[in-house]
Amino acid sequence: MNKTNVEIHNSVREHYANLARSQNSCCGDSCGCANDIYTPDLITDIPEDVTGFTLGCGDTITLAKLQPGETVLDLGSGGGLDCFLAARQVGETGRVIGVDMTPAMLERARASALRLGIGNTEFRQGYIEDLPIADASVDVIISNCVINLSPDKPRVISEIYRVLKTGGRLAVSDTVTNRELPEQIRNDMQSWNQCGSGALTVDQYAEILLSSGFDGVHIAPKGSPTEIGADMPEGLIFSAEITARKP
């Protein structure tokens, strides 16, 4: 990547600030972005302007199997929908923290939390590469179509490891590829902003998780119980479900 990390953060932030100020709910063709990522029973009783503002690429809430009382951290919380869904599942004895670097997203999420009367959720400004979260304080980390946007994925994974409690788990939806993308595509900032050209290969993702100390690493195409299919066209960018555990 020829761009510096600061340039990538600035470009991504500007892209998502524009989306936060609009009503749009799609981050680009690579994300399976649309409200059909959640089953209707999961989003019931939440106003359409909140459920309609999702920029994610999978159902991390179902993937995470949240339990009452758990502390959940959402990396790149955007408009806050995943935090609100998580907040219902962990209940009054649990709590949810959303972290995002884009002030306009945080404003949108905080305004929705206030309007919906959700008290066990807070939104903090920060980078996922430098989380504003104490060591070993989180049971579950969720993230929906965000880690691909980071210019420093090993740093993000090491931060996830730092803030998780022993035995804590990771349940992430993210875009990945099955073959390293050509440099020309990786340098395309428009594609990067739209969850495309920042995608890691499945093997790179697994390697970073394992070398950071995680076990139980599992990466599967969205909605499929099988491993990554050998029959997929090479170089395809697709949504995957990624789970792992801090031993």
Ligand X SMILES: C[S@@+](CC[C@H](N)C(=O)[O-])C[C@H]1O[C@@H](n2cnc3c(N)ncnc32)[C@H](O)[C@@H]1O
Position 195 contacts ligand X (CB under 6 A): yes
Of the ranges 51-59, 112-120, 180-188, 196-204, which one interacts with ligand X (CB under 6 A)? 51-59
Answer for which of 71, 89, 102, 178 binds ligand X (CB under 6 A) is 102
Tell the smallest beta-carbon distance from residue 233 to ligand X (Å). Answer: 24
Position 86 contacts ligand X (CB under 6 A): no
Position 64 contacts ligand X (CB under 6 A): no
The DSSP line for the chain is --S-HHHHHHHHHHHHHHHHHSS-----SSS--SGGGS-TTTSTTS-HHHHT----SS-HHHHHT--TT-EEEEES-TTSHHHHHHHHHH-TT-EEEEEES-HHHHHHHHHHHHHHT--SEEEEE-BTTB-SS-TT-EEEEEEES-GGG-S-HHHHHHHHHHHEEEEEEEEEEEEEESSPPPHHHHT-HHHHHTTSTTPEEHHHHHHHHHHTT-EEEEEEETT-SSPPPTTSPTT-EEEEEEEEE--
Tell the smallest beta-carbon distance from residue 89 to ligand X (Å). Answer: 16
Nearer to ligand X, 69 or 199 (CB): 199
Answer for which of 51, 120, 144, 243 binds ligand X (CB under 6 A) is 144
Nearer to ligand X, 16 or 84 (CB): 16
Tell the smallest beta-carbon distance from residue 106 to ligand X (Å). Answer: 9
What is the binding site for ligand X (CB under 6 A)?
A: 9, 12-13, 16, 27, 54-56, 76-79, 81-82, 100-102, 105, 127-129, 144-146, 149-150, 195
